[in-house]
Amino acid sequence: MRIKTIELFFDKPKEDFYIKNITDDVSKAIKESKMKEGIVNIFVSGSTASVSTMEFEPNLVKDIEKAMEKIAPSDIEYEHHKTWGDENGKSHVRATILGPSLTVPFKDGKLLLGTWQQIVLLDFDVPKRERKVVVQIIGE
């Protein structure tokens, strides 16, 4: 069994909610590891973003954004704002509920995702920024 850890960096080109399909980046990391079978853990470093899966299509992106507005609305006060004044209480709440990581099995060098299932980075922070994603491949 081998372990390979790599870091990927993604730009968040807009303010507030942003979803990026990172499936190809994870597939490429598995290919480059030359491992054929195992699991890959995808972990976003930071407390205002999450990693999950979805059918990555524009209307579902809008639906998820709407759902997040219901779970942690933009227009309410958060206690967290008293701590740092960084105005991203909603971002933390959303990220904590979804969680920072995802594990996906792979076989024959390919992710065992469903046909309409992609790996996504959900960035809930308010400002534009860069995001570090750690990809750890465990297998042989």
Cβ-based nearer residue to Zn ion, 26 or 125 = 125
- Name the minimum Å distance from CB 32 to Zn ion: 34
Report residue 75 as tokens: 């227009």
Q: Which residues bind Zn ion (CB under 5 A)?
A: 86, 88
Cβ-based nearer residue to Zn ion, 5 or 45 = 45
CB-based burial label for 58 (10 Å; 0-12, 13-18, 19+): exposed
- Name the minimum Å distance from CB 96 to Zn ion: 11
Return the SS3 of 135: strand
Cβ-based nearer residue to Zn ion, 125 or 139 = 125
